Amino acid sequence: MIIDDILKDAKMSRYKLSKVSGVPQTTISDICSGRTKMEKCSAGTLYKLAKALNVSVDALLEADEQNSTLKVDYRVSFETFKSNTCHQVKDKGDLDFIIETLETNRIRELYRKKWYAESLYLLGMVDYLSRVNDLPVCTNYNDIRSKKLEQEVYPSSVLIRAAVTHNDEVKKEAKKKAIPEFLRFNIVESEVRNIV
Q: What is the CATH number of the domain that holds 19?
A: 1.10.260.40
pLDDT of residue 185: 97
Q: In terms of pLDDT, which residue wins out, 170 or 64?
A: 170
128-169 per-position pLDDT tens digit: 999 999 999 999 999 999 999 999 999 988 999 999 999 899
DSSP 138: P
User: Does residue 150 sit in the same domain as residue 84?
Assistant: yes
Q: Is 113 helix (H, G, I), strand (E, B) or coil?
A: coil
16 and 45 within one domain: yes
Residue 73 is assigned to a structural domain of this protein = no
Say if 120 falls within a structural domain.
yes
Please state whether the predicted TM-score (pTM) of the whole model is above 0.75.
no
Q: Phi-psi category of 114—alpha, beta or left, where left has phi over 0 and alpha has psi -120 to 50?
A: left
Domains: count for the chain: 2
Mean pLDDT across the chain: 86
Q: Based on the domain organization, do 60 and 126 belong to the same domain?
A: no
87 in the same domain as 36: no
Q: Under the phi-then-psi rule, with left for phi > 0, alpha for psi from -120 to 50, and beta for the rest, what region is 147?
A: beta
Phi, psi of 105 (to 5 degrees): 60, 30
Q: Do the domain assignments include residue 188?
A: no
Domain closes at, from 44, 66, 88: 66
Is there a single domain that holds both residue 138 and residue 58?
no
Beta-bridge mates of residue 187? 153
Does residue 132 sit within a domain?
yes
Instruction: Encode pLDDT of 61-113 as tens digits.
Output: 776 665 543 344 567 788 889 988 999 999 899 999 999 999 999 999 999 99
For residue 196, is it within any domain?
no
Task: Identify the pLDDT of residue 86.
Answer: 92
Q: What confidence tier does 194 reach under pLDDT thresholds 50, 70, 90? A: confident
pLDDT at residue 171 is higher than 80: yes
Q: What pLDDT shows up at residue 74?
A: 60
Backbone φ and ψ for 153, nearest 5 degrees, come out as: -115, 120
User: 59 and 98: one domain?
Assistant: no
Residues 6+ apart with CB under 8 A from 24: 18
On whether residue 72 sits in a domain, the answer given is no
User: What pLDDT band is residue 180 in, cutting at 50, 70 and 90?
Assistant: very high
Residues of the domain holding 40:
2-66
Q: How confident is the model at residue 2 (pLDDT cuts 50, 70, 90)?
A: low
Backbone angles phi, psi at 41, to 5 degrees: -75, 155
Say how far apart CA 189 and CA 115 lie, in whole Å: 18
Give one DSSP letter per residue of 79-110, joined into a string. HHHHHHHHHHHHHH-HHHHHHHHHHHTHHHHH
pLDDT of residue 5: 73
The whole-angstrom separation of Cα 87 and Cα 93 is 10
- Asked if 108 and 144 count as a contact pair (C-beta separation under 8 A), the reply is yes
- The answer to whether position 189 is within a domain reads no
